[in-house]
Structure 1
Amino acid sequence: MLVESRGDGGAAAPRLLERDDDLHTIDVIAAAAAGGAGSMLLIEGPAGIGKTALLDHLRGRAAAAGMVVYTARGGDLERGFGFGIVRQLLESTVLGADVGERERLLAGAARLAEPVFTDVESAASIADIAFATLHGLYWLLANLAERAPLVLLVDDAHCADDPSLRFLLHLAPRLAGLPILVALSVRTSPHKVRAELRALTLESRAPVVRPQPLSDDAVASLVRALLGAGAGDRLCHSCAVATGGNPFLLSELLGEFRRTGRSARTIDPSDVDQLVPERVSASVLIRVSQLGPAASALARAVAVLGEWARLSTCVRFTGLDVTQAADLAAALVDSEILVHGEPLRCVHPLIRTAIYEDLSHTERADLHARAVRVLAEQHCERGVIGAHLLATAPAGDLSAVAMLREAARAALAGGAPETAVALLRRALDEPPDDAERPDIVSELGIAEYEIGDASATVHLREAIDTTADPLTRARAVMALAWSNHPDADSQRAQLSFYEQAASEVGLYDRELQLQLEGARLGALLLNPDLPDGFEQAADRFSDFPARTRAECLIRSFVARRALQTGPVAVAGDLAEQAARHPALVSEGGHPLWRTNVTICLMEAERYDAAEHILSRAMRHAERMGSPQWLARAQWLRGLVRHRRGDLRAAEVDGRAAVDIHGAAAPYTRTPGLVVVIDTLADQGRVDEADALLVQRGMDGALIPTLFAVLPLLARGRLHAAAGRHELARDDLLDALSRIQSSRGTFPWAGDVRVALVPVLLALGEDVSARKTADEAVSCARVAASPRRLGGALRVRGLCAGGRERLDLLREAVDVLQDSPALLWRAQTLVDFGRALRLAGQHDEARDILRAGLDLAHRCRAAPLADQAERETRAAGGRPRRRAAVGADALTASERRVAEMAAEGMSNKDIAQALFVTLRTVELHLSNAYAKLGIRSRQDLAGALVGDGGQPR
């Protein structure tokens, strides 16, 4: 009743009272969205304050401006239906499109959203299915917005389902640069506000619109418009006090006067405060009851069925005939209980609440049970039926258990694991029979793992302990293995599960048996202190074939075992065999499969093969919308690139892995950070690396596990680069101790020793330095690794003097001559060139130093290049200077985007692959063009290539 009619005699023009400022704010935000400045608009206030009227105004303005408007409305029942709000908004558009249009809408990453709108039996098994769905929905909207600006209106968002709220929260910071306005009405409540709504308020960049109660003058205007000019000031004031200026309550009050035929002269102002707000519910129920029991039954059906209250469904629900139900619906419309149209709907959520809350708890449960039967007979989708089952009382009905499980599978496949968890927990309450319970508990544990619920481990263990089915136990054990990887203690405790499940399932599923064997090998690898553990277990499979996915997984552990004994070429061969199955670059099979293969290929200096595998894995993760798998592949590729000396590319990968937030973010952040710290140290950006260490909390004590080896190595090298030699020594010795406790399964002892020797020399600990260098040489010869041997000979040469130093450094240069480990080659050349200069062999020194300088420049190793330049000048040479311009001036993010654009990827493809917005890509490309001195993406490839065709 915010509307006042104005006009001269003829048709009146409606006007919202006292909402000019709110309407202006809405109009400005809508205009900005139409121009491409998308945003989130919240309209917040108590029930009845006029939030829906403001959304209706926005709907009209948007439609008149040529924007496409999608609408949805939250409700208590809809909260149990995964992505219910999203489906209200977009389902008819997606499913109603012809084949060509549907392909356009679901192109690219938007395909990941398809399971939200299709009642699929199951979805492809991918990690991060919840995030992948949000990622797909975002790009579905982006595709929709290519044709026309969009407005998404969600009324009563406080009653939205959790997955839809999660999507709105995902969408809010990504609207900039898109012609999309998302407008939500949210009811303020004295009770606890849902965390997602608080977060949405923070994410809303537009001012929050909070409509205020009507003033006494506005109330008087409306009272006199309806009751006549004779309504006195006292009556108008009483109406204002009784309703608090709330438009809905005022509407109900004046409607009651109108329905009873009371005029202003017959109304006692002192009686007004007895009518509202407490008696609104009573008034609604009286109006319904006056129409008879059948009308009450129909009204209750509408309140219970919610968005699915079509007349035909209500007929089956109530037992009324079609004609009678239609007449009663019309009568309820006349009584201002329902609005005209399909589905049947109450005129205001408060009216639906009044009817629904008049039901006892038992009556509600019974009516929802009836809704389940009716909707099942009509073959309604499983999610809707599941939402009603959540509101029923447990009754030991096995058919209800089956429907809840089906609804949970659909929810999980559709990217709504939290809904699946609620449905499966309700299935356990029913309860199922003893034989079925372990399966449900296992499914619940898997769904809980998807949302990071700590109960996942408890439920998976219950399934393992209680099931009599070997397949159920084996699948639960594998899910448990994933849920707490790479926690060494948890994996250690689960060894008996892997062994038992593998022995039981062998007769039924050989692949699953081998996956369990792989999980056991992974647990043993993470716990090297177990006597006769990993080595003996891996040796059992040394002659095993490598054809199937699980066989290739096993072969990767055999390759890892080969690193302990050498030569590294054998491990490289085994790793290439383990990489044969295409699953390695898709879902991975086991968290350590790809890691094993990468480490072995890297140690064998087969960097091209490793990069190829990891690049394919990244492309697959991008298509599947899995930030977890993308981060895992990206940090490994960064590790490989750093090893070969491609410092800027390694930094790009490392930073991307650190920035990605997925289910495994804590696991992937630290390895990615290791790559970034290493590359910054080698580029001479020590202050930047120090700040990053502090910012990411890697500057203090590290968790005493094997996974601290690489952080300790990177931090030790950084301390050494900064001249903090005592700190460097402590970190490197700690790393070496942990590696030695792994009995060689973590193969970085050579790198640690090569980093440690110069530190010990700087501290004057020459004896320890020589001993460490000798150990490095000895181990490298056993491993038959050119990189390890070249690096060990170099630092051994630094411990020597005179002819011995020259001989050792010359041998190191010869060993590394054909090595693709460019940074170590460059360091060895510079050290040898310096030794030659000090020995007075200036001519040979200049040639060696120039070669080292060129390699250092190619690697972007600024401190090493500076050293080579100084030594070259000291030897009488004139080195070329290279300034950090062009491609060298790009940030890691700009470089990443520019490289992808140079490969021919569109801005949308890049944004989808990197899980960022189009605006972010546009900004990075704009900055890259300016720094490279070019104007278009056609010039990128040439600008990113340096002298001799080498990447800058």
Structure 2
Amino acid sequence: MASGRAAPEIFGRESELRRLRELVGDVAAKRGSAIWLEGESGIGKTALLSRLTDEAERLGCQVFHSSADRLAHRFPLRVALDCLDINARAADATYRDICSRLHDGDQLDRVDPLPAVVERLVGIVEHACTETPVVMVIDDIHWADEASMLVWHQLNRLVDELPLLMVAAARPLRSRIDLGSLQQECRAGATLIPLPPLDAEAVTRLAGHLTGTAEIGPAMRRTLERAGGNPLYVRELVDSLSREGHVAKRDGGRVADLPAEVAEPPLPRSLAESLTSRLSFVNTDTIGLLRMAALLGQTFSVTDLRKVSERPVVALAGAMEEALAAGLLVESGSRLAFQHGLIRHALCETTPTALRVALHNQAARALAESGAPIERVGEQLRASLAIDDTELDDGFLDWLAHNGRMLAYRAPESATELLSTALSLLPTGDARRGALQAAKARTLVALGRPEQAQALCERVLAETRDRCLASEMSWYLAWSLAVRGLDEQAAEVVERALRTPGFERPWLARMHAMLGQVMLVRGEFESANSAVKQALSEARPVHDGFALGLALHVRAAALARQCDLAGAVDCYDQARAELDDAPENTDLRLLVLGNRMVLLFGLGRAEDAESALHEMLAIAERTATPTQLASVRLSAANHYYTTGRWDDAVAELDAVVELADRMPRQNRRCLHGLSALIAGHREDAETFGRKLAGVDDPGPESLEGAEFLLLGRGMQAEMENAPQRAVALLTEVLLRGERFGTRYLWLPLLVRLAMSTGDTAAGTRAAQACEDDAAVGAVPNIVAAAQHCRGLLDREPAAVRAAAEIYRTINQPPRHAQALEDLAVLLAERGQISAARAEYARAVEIYTELGASWDLRRADARLRPHGVRRARGRRPRATTGWDSLTPTERKVARLVADGLANPDIAATLFSSRRTIEVHVSHILAKLGVRSRVEVAVIAMRNATNASRDGHELASK
């Protein structure tokens, strides 16, 4: 029977809809088949089935449709009978007779009627197929009874002979091993169409439809990420936000967003209860454990859940497997994560307040007693404070006094709230106050809150008589001033501290190093060098690695500013050797490694730069604060972009987005610019436009972090056939007079566009600026850019060829390809068509590997007037299945099949753990699976197919 329900609007399922329509068209043309539509609850299976049945009826097919439920398995053949509309009141006598036989068969003295009835039902469908093509649909078939599955199985075997389309929709409710054998066979014998979560663009379109607007603002987009791409959850979240009055429309009703004051709206109780009620298909014991897991955070370890729940791992295994199979949890490296933030929030919100407080406190004590990392203890304490105005007891105050400094290094956000609460509870004379105050100052430093750190330090210094505490707080005070550019005041603090009798020697060494840094900022190189020497002499006797590292960092920075890059690298090597893995050294270690990596890459030592990057990532992922981690991942994305590993760059940028609100302005500018640039190269117009619009243009005060944004603006102008606009923008930036930085990245673009518009003056100015920069440091990057600019200006192929060779040598495929493209154009202009075609073919090979479709189109347009054309490119990449995976994703999938964990895969591929996590997430979505086991099966199957195809090809 037809569903009779109106089909809702569908977003992000264009390829699936197209496939379903093709199959309905096939059955209308009397070619049968079987489909198994699979996806989690709410993912959109029913909506697709509704579209399918509408299309089938439009083409004149006879449609049978039903939906199973949780009780269906108790009634043999219930689902099959409902689908065929067979009941005791049916007008057809045959149908009434079938129902009578089933009813009478309940008597003990009669023969079991089921086998005969199954055969009759199969016969009914066969007969229907002789009259008109048939489409038979069962939604939620995972609940179907065994007898109905037998009917389905037998009909599945007939689809090659009959105009019959069998369509089943199922939830991945259990692991494949737990499915009934008939369901396994039916699934295996059908065309599997997985429904992964919607991507961000589809979610945005759906939300725009629900709100009646053309665009969704950034705050609302972030909130919608909680839905995890599930369209049902998106609808319920938007409806709930609208009912609560949290959706504001602006720009004449064109844009829907959340007001600033509710940028992180709480989950309404009604929505939380609605969401948890949908989890009734999961065992109640599993729900109870998921409530505990939800309190541990969006991601959690099974070890922590074992400690908090006080159950052995064996007792947790079944529940976690069920939650994974149901799509409530997903793997996240060695941890588990809630696939939908909404579900986690709903489980928390529907846990009674008193119970939540007790569970958070129990979790904190259990984790502390078991020796778990202190940041996890701190998270639980902080969560308990946020509920019902609870307070820290004396035991936790002792714990904070003992662990506060370490917590400040590892989890500064939790630390600042806990320490503030603890200090408010302690009387003035309490012996624990000093340790808590020092820990809070360190927390404010880690969080980048210099004004608050200054106020706290000045207050403590005015009150304390503890020389050790005064020494430490003087250091934090100097930092809070220096980091804001208040060099004179910072120098006064340092010099006053150095004159103070009894000043602690380790802090004395650090103060001298800080003084050196202040002098370096002022440009007083001799004074800076003198302070550094004093710091080193004071730090070595007490073996203070931090003071030694800071002093050597200042010396290296001074050498770099004086263009002795090799000497600076040596100095950074010494600083790296002095800094151990103590948590307080993390910031400085990352700074040293980051500067060292940039210099190594600039000197053409790409492999050494790559090693430095891996070391940075390992440290950041293990111990860095969110702000530090975002900065390191951004450095990784920059490196991967430059070296042509764009899929890895995109993965890192995806990870950085999660931390964007904690980044300084110049880093956000770099994030948006680099994301836009890759999207522009790959002709992802929506992302390109959104990223460029999502950040302000650099102001006249600084270009820091703006290189990729400038390149993106130039690309945008060229795409819109307005190169004069790009020339004007880049020339204006050039005229600001900033030199020897990163402008070499965009100067070749300025020269090329200037020459294409006939603006020789702008081109000459840009080429001369790049040559001036190259003369200062003789850095391969800048030397190549200078030759590139000069060749474009003088229309001289030899100079561009030399630049291309340097780019190739120092492993910069994108710039190498651009130089080859420009070389091909110059050769073609001289009539050297054969040589131009050869260089163009090399550029095309690189562009194709990068997926740089815009560059291919631009190059085609530039060379076509000279009669140079490329061979047709590869077919577009599939959007789902194994063929949709990028080369990097295929490597990751094969390593998953080899049984490697994410950290091991990261080490094998010289990547970061988070990058691999993003790749694995993309792989799961593209393959439409939920576990690494299923990824392994598909990878091994494709490896087997590839091997067989290779043998067959070799034998021909």
Is the contact made by 1:760 and 1:768 (CA closer than 8 Å) also made in structure 2? yes
Which residue is equivalent to 1:211?
A: none
Per-residue deviation, 1:594: 3.4
Partner of 1:317: none
| Conserved? CA contact 1:777–1:792, under 8 Å | yes
Q: CA deviation at 1:837?
A: 2.0
Residue 635 of structure 1: how far off its partner (Å) = 0.9
Shifted more, 861-870 versus 404-413: the winner is: 404-413
Partner residue in 2 for 1:793: 787
Q: Which residue of the partner structure matches residue 707 of structure 2?
A: 710
In structure 2, give the amino acid aligned to 1:799: L
Map of 1:935 onto structure 2: 938
3-state SS of 1:830 partner:
helix
Partners of 1:71 and 1:820 lie apart in 2 by: 48
Match of 1:595 in 2: 594
**Alignment partners' CA distance in 2, 1:893 and 1:475:** 53
Q: Offset of 1:62 from its aligned partner? A: 10
Matching residue of 1:781: 775
The 8 Å contact of residues 755 and 763 in structure 2, kept in 1 or not, is answered as: yes
Cα pair 1:634 1:653 within 8 Å, conserved = yes
Letter in 1 for 2:427: P
Equivalent pair of 2:471/2:504 in contact (CA under 8 Å): no
State the distance in 2 between where 1:942 and 1:872 align: 40
Using the alignment, how far apart are the partners of 1:33 and 1:467 within structure 2?
A: 63
Structure 1 CA distance for aligned equivalents of residues 679 and 291 of structure 2: 50
Instruction: Pick from 816, 822, 827 the counterpart of residue 836 of structure 1.
Output: 827
1:702–1:498: structure 2 CA closer, same or farther, 3 Å change rule?
Answer: farther
Per the alignment, residue 617 of structure 1 pairs with 616
The code of the aligned residue for 1:458 comes to A
Amino acid at match of 2:841: R
Q: Is the 8 A contact 1:716 1:732 kept in 2?
A: no
> 1:506 deviation in Å?
11
Q: Give me the TM-score of the superposition, normalised by structure 1.
A: 0.52
AA of the residue aligned to 1:432: T
Aligned to 1:46: none
**How far has the Cα of 1:629 moved from its partner?**
3.7
Q: Counterpart of 2:607 in structure 1: which amino acid?
A: D
Contact 1:648 1:860 in 2 (8 A): no
Task: Deviation per CA, 1:904-948: give whole Å up to 9, x if none.
Answer: 47688799846789977632554999xx999326858999xxx9x
Partner residue, 1:94: 307
Residue of structure 2 equivalent to 1:146: 320
For residue 429 of structure 2, give the secondary structure of its aligned residue in structure 1.
coil
Structure 1 residue 773, shift from structure 2 partner? 0.8
The whole-number CA distance in structure 2 between the counterparts of 1:811 and 1:305 is: 69
Per the alignment, do residues 646 and 496 of structure 1 end up closer, same or farther by CA in structure 2, a change over 3 Å counting? farther
Is the Cα–Cα contact under 8 Å of residues 901 and 907 in structure 1 kept in the other structure? Answer: no
Match in the other structure for 2:655? 656
Partner SS state of residue 809, structure 2: coil
Larger radius of gyration: 1
**CA distance 1:849–1:490, shift in 2 (3 Å):** same
Contact 1:652–1:896 (CA under 8 A) maintained in structure 2:
no
Identity across matched positions, percent: 17
> Could you give the per-residue CA deviations for residues 212-257 of structure 1, whole angstroms, max 9, x where no partner exists?
xxxxxxxxxxxxxxxxxxxxxxxxxxxxxxxxxxxxxxxxxxxxxx
The equivalent residue for 1:753 is: 747
Deviations 1:576-617 (A, max 9, x none): 555456758983426633332232123223233223222343
AA at the equivalent of 2:770:
A
Letter of the structure 1 residue corresponding to residue 614 of structure 2: S
Q: Are 1:813 and 1:828, in contact at CA under 8 Å, matched by a contact in 2?
A: yes
Contact 1:794 1:808 survives alignment (8 Å): yes
Gaps of 5+ in 1: 1-23, 43-50, 74-81, 106-140, 151-169, 189-193, 198-303, 310-381, 948-952
What is the 5 A alignment of 1:228-247?
Answer: none
CA contact (8 A) 2:878 2:884 kept: no
1:517: how far off?
A: 5.7
CA change 1:466–1:796 in 2 (3 A) is: farther
1:641–1:521 Cα change, 3 Å: farther
Taking the aligned partners of 2:745 and 2:603, their CA distance within structure 1 comes to 14
Matches within 5 A, 1:236-315: none
| In the alignment, structure 1 residue 728 sits paired with structure 2 residue 726 | yes
- CA–CA separation in structure 1 for the residues paired with 2:867 and 2:791: 24
Closer, same or farther: CA 719–509 of 1 in aligned 2, 3 Å:
farther
What secondary structure is seen at the aligned counterpart in 1 of 2:938?
A: coil
C-alpha displacement of 1:816: 4.7
C-alpha contact (below 8 Å) 1:438/1:462 kept by paired residues: no
Selected match of 2:459 from 462, 466, 478: 462
* Residues 408 and 440, structure 2, Cα contact 8 Å, conserved in 1: no
Of 915, 923, 943, the residue aligned with 2:925 is 923
Distance in 1 of aligned mates of 2:349 and 2:306: 20
Residues 291, 348 of structure 2: 8 Å contact kept: no
SS in structure 2 opposite 1:146?
Answer: helix
Structure 1: distance between partners of 2:921 and 2:889: 12
3-state SS, counterpart of residue 347 of structure 2: strand
Match for residue 182 of structure 1? 347
Displacement after TM superposition at 1:705 (Å):
3.6
Displacement after TM superposition at 1:146 (Å):
3.0
Distance across 1 between alignment mates of 2:580 and 2:875: 41
Post-superposition CA distance 1:235-282 (Å, at most 9, x none): xxxxxxxxxxxxxxxxxxxxxxxxxxxxxxxxxxxxxxxxxxxxxxxx
8 Å contact kept, 2:633–2:652: yes
Task: Name the amino acid aligned to 1:847.
Answer: A
1:678 corresponds to which residue?
677
Distance 2:603 2:581 in 1: 19
Q: Are residue 765 (structure 1) and residue 755 (structure 2) matched?
A: no
Q: Residue 635 of structure 2 corresponds to which residue in structure 1? A: 636
Is residue 2:816 matched to residue 1:825? yes
For residues 903 and 613 of structure 1, the distance between their equivalents in structure 2, rounded to whole angstroms, comes to 24
CA distance in 2, matches of 1:884, 1:535: 62
> How far apart are the structure 1 equivalents of 2:342 and 2:887?
24
Partner of 1:322: none
Letter in 2 for 1:791: A
* Shift in alpha-carbon separation, 1:788–1:493, aligned structure 2, 3 A: same
- Looking at structure 2, the residues matched to 795 and 401 of structure 1 have their Cα atoms a distance apart, in angstroms, of 64
Root mean square deviation, CA, Å: 6.4
What is the rounded CA distance, in whole Å, between the counterparts of 2:861 and 2:391 in structure 1?
Answer: 82
User: Is contact 2:643-2:814 (8 Å) kept?
Assistant: yes
The answer to whether the 8 Å contact 1:787/1:816 transfers is yes
Structure 2: gaps spanning 5 or more residues: 1-70, 72-139, 144-170, 176-196, 198-227, 238-269, 325-336, 363-379, 906-911, 951-956
Measure the CA separation in 2 of the matches of 1:632 and 1:576: 21
| Equivalent position to 1:691, from 689, 697, 703 | 689
Q: Which residue of structure 1 aligns with residue 37 of structure 2?
A: none
Per the alignment, residue 839 of structure 2 pairs with 848
Q: Deviations over 1:453-508 (max 9, x none)?
A: 885553244335554556434544665688799x6446786454456557879974
Higher relative contact order (CA 8 A, sep 6+): 1
Distance 1:730 1:564, change over 3 A: farther
Please, what TM-score do these two structures have when normalized by structure 2?
0.52
Distance 1:893 1:498 in 2: 56
Deviation sequence 1:304-331 (CA, Å, 0-9, x none): 999999xxxxxxxxxxxxxxxxxxxxxx
Q: Matched residue pairs, number? A: 634
1:442–1:411 distance in 2 versus 1, CA, 3 Å: closer
Who is 1:10 aligned against? none
Q: Equivalent residues in 2 for 1:901-912 (5 A)? A: 901-904=893-896
1:34 CA drift (Å): 8.5
Quick one: distance in 2 between partners of 1:505 and 1:876?
Answer: 82
* Alpha-carbon distance in structure 2 between the residues aligned to 1:424 and 1:811: 61
Post-superposition shift, 1:636? 0.4
CA distance in 2, matches of 1:184, 1:393: 20
Equivalent AA in structure 2 for residue 463 of structure 1: V
